[in-house]
Amino acid sequence: MFSKSKRIKKEMDQELLIQLKKQKRDWEQLNSIIEQSIEPSDEGLLELNLVKAKYFYLLREARFRGINALSLK
Q: Kindly report, residue by residue over 59-69, the tens digit of the pLDDT.
A: 999 999 988 77
Alpha carbon separation from 32 to 5, 36, 39 (Å, rounded): 40, 6, 13
Distance in angstroms (rounded) separating the CA atoms of residues 7 and 72: 12
User: Can you give the C-alpha Rg of the chain in angstroms?
Assistant: 16
DSSP state, residue 70: T
Mean pLDDT by 10 residues, the chain (73 residues): 82 93 94 92 94 94 86 55
pLDDT computed for residue 6 by the predictor: 87
